[in-house]
Amino acid sequence: MKKKNIIELTRISCDDYRRLDKLPLRLMADNVRSASNIGAMLRTSDAFKVKEVVMAGISAVPPSPEISKSSLGAEDSVAWRHVEDACTEVARLKAKGVLVIVLEQIHDSVSLQDFADVYARIGEGREMLLVVGNEVNGVDQRIVDMADVALEIPMHGIKHSLNVSVSAGIALWEIYKCVNG
């Protein structure tokens, strides 16, 4: 096996990336304070062609050296915006028919590996919003109450959760696979 060199890894320009068709998916960071986590989520969103990243409440926003360090410039390629109130924005998108998905540990959640079945039943052809929550408190309960689906990543170790940017990346990959067949 031979590793790819930097020339082989060269990608399209930011302008060309912005013109690509995107996944019918927005990612919302609900009060994610850590700039490093926001940067990592922007970078992952760039990889999977997420339509938009919405930073809500106290979430860190560009420009920020910490965001740039972990995003490697994805804050320039990925559409993003900040909203003061996550609940208001979720309600607005839901009213437009967007499928609201929360990544949260709740009773009756859907295990992430079973999302394909849910997507086939209620998500196919719809715009989606994936909401990930604060590092300590998770997704605001009012948003959980509005959700169409709650996804949970199975945990088999002694810890009950993963870092928010890692969790978002895992969920984005699963959703990407569903949308792209």
Full DSSP string of 29-67:
EES---HHHHHHHHHHHHHTTEEEEEEETT---SS-HHH
What local confidence, expressed as pLDDT, does residue 181 receive?
A: 80
Residue 135 has pLDDT above 90, yes or no: no
User: CA angle 104-107-109, nearest 5°?
Assistant: 55
- Give the percent of the chain with pLDDT over 90: 96
Residues 115 and 103 sit within 8 Å (Cβ to Cβ)? no
Segment 9-13 shows an average pLDDT of 88
Confidence of residue 44 (pLDDT cuts 50, 70, 90): very high
What local confidence, expressed as pLDDT, does residue 10 receive?
A: 84
Residue 11 has pLDDT above 90, yes or no: no
Q: Where are the domains of the chain?
A: 11-179
11-179 CATH fold: Alpha/beta knot (3.40.1280)
Residues 38 and 60 sit within 8 Å (Cβ to Cβ)? yes
- Please report, for the chain, how many H helices and E strands are present, in that order: 9, 7
pLDDT digits (tens, 9 = 90+) for 58-107: 999 999 999 999 999 999 999 999 999 999 999 999 999 999 999 999 99
**Residue-averaged pLDDT of the chain:** 96
Residue 15 has pLDDT above 90, yes or no: yes
Instruction: Flag the least confident range among 11-15, 51-55, 74-78.
Output: 11-15
Sheet holding 128-133, edge to edge: 80-83, 50-56, 23-30, 128-133, 99-103, 149-152, 110-111
